Structure 1
């Protein structure tokens, strides 16, 4: 008898609920998009500190151990960059709006966020050219994205888990970064030459739109990959209908 009870206990697959504080939005709710705006906004307060039981790290700051990023080559720019021990600061202060979703055949969600100031800080090493001038350096960097609108687009598939329930797997998380102003600060350029370093930082900031346009594809990909990883840590553990009840 004890063996049968043990066997039954082993066969039970634990189904997780949404973390405490997360709001559910019903598929049949005609105002589901408004519900999602509020739900995602409120979830940022929880994600700010992370959710250890779901292996979700804090998003304030959101850490990146290592990023290798080459700029999109152009006639004026060519950069090879590596960022270590980097982090995004200010993500949890974002305001969410314009959320839409779909569930037919595939999962899809679009949303926009506004962040007053998002700082990307860490250690960098860089070589290349900017506006036909050579640049090289390694040290501390801070890239401030001001008055930032971020467009998020998630797509994913539904699949059956071992418990027979339907889950979501995010296969693509696209990010579009649209700042009103970007301020660059790269310390220790040209082996610490302060005159050359100040001149180059001023050049970067005077031409921030051209510089950022070349750098942005790499940033968007790396940020999108990190956001996808976090989303899947939630979606892989909570069944679809416990997140979006009918």
Structure 2
């Protein structure tokens, strides 16, 4: 049974840092050759955007430093930090040196561009998403204390994400308007989450194995706590790609009057 949908809007308890080298070109760039423009006057704009997105994804996954798009296979994240709440689950957990795998199999299901309101919605699915990295945790799950640090492996299956990005048009020194993402919102569902935290309780195998079993038996409660942070990482990827390209290519070339 799928986990209930959840929303995440710039969570205050989340710290997420993406690895990327910012390139600041001296002048505006044209769209990369693997991305085709759609006319803003096209009555079938969303059909055009969906088709072009499918064609562009294989190249985007490789990354494009010229447009500040990081490689997505895997996506490197320096740190994801979650501070626990006061409920039955309260995890102070930090993931570091994280690699997200699975984007090569991501499927864009729908794109909706509302140019009048400077908004875009992207629906996508990832059959199997995997987080590999280091962790440090101190907290509880359903009154069970959890403490340790070591290697982490979290696998999410049938991950569906619905990402909405809001932008404003910014006029730069060259007098041209550019898209500047200012907000993002994400909803997500998954059918299952599997996790393994190595070296819990200073390597106590019995306690560690029992705790990992408990975490997997109660995965939905754990996902409520750390799921928004992981989903926000996916949202940041989309925002990063949009801002990387649209921030360097003028709006009139991203969405020209005619193609």
- Provide TM-score, normalisation by structure 1: 0.89
1:40 paired with 2:40, answer: no
Q: Shift in Å at residue 20 of structure 1?
A: 1.8
Q: How is 1:25-174 mapped onto 2 (pairs within 5 angstroms)?
A: 25-71=38-84, 73-104=85-116, 106-174=117-185
Between 141-150 and 38-47, the greater mean CA deviation after superposition: 38-47
Provide the residue aligned with 1:189 in structure 2: 200
Q: Of the two, which has the highest radius of gyration?
A: 1
Q: Shift in Å at residue 154 of structure 1?
A: 0.4
Gaps of 5+ in 2: 1-25
Provide the residue aligned with 1:218 in structure 2: 229
1:239 paired with 2:236, answer: no
Q: Shift in Å at residue 195 of structure 1?
A: 1.5
Q: Shift in Å at residue 162 of structure 1?
A: 1.5
For residues 242 and 34 of structure 2, what CA distance do their matches in structure 1 show? 16
Provide the residue aligned with 1:24 in structure 2: 37
- Provide TM-score, normalisation by structure 2: 0.84
Provide the residue aligned with 2:18 in structure 1: none
For residues 92 and 234 of structure 1, what CA distance do their matches in structure 2 show? 20
Alpha-carbon RMSD across the aligned residues, in angstroms, is 1.6
For residues 95 and 221 of structure 1, what CA distance do their matches in structure 2 show? 18
Does structure 2 retain, via aligned residues, the 8 Å contact 1:25–1:244?
A: yes
Q: Shift in Å at residue 222 of structure 1?
A: 4.1
Q: Shift in Å at residue 226 of structure 1?
A: 4.5
Q: Shift in Å at residue 74 of structure 1?
A: 4.2
Which structure ranks higher in relative contact order (CA pairs < 8 Å, sequence separation ≥ 6)?
A: 2
Runs of 4+ aligned residues of structure 1 deviating over 4 Å after TM superposition are none
For residues 218 and 85 of structure 1, what CA distance do their matches in structure 2 show? 15
Q: Shift in Å at residue 219 of structure 1?
A: 2.6
Does structure 2 retain, via aligned residues, the 8 Å contact 1:173–1:227?
A: no
Gaps of 5+ in 1: 1-12
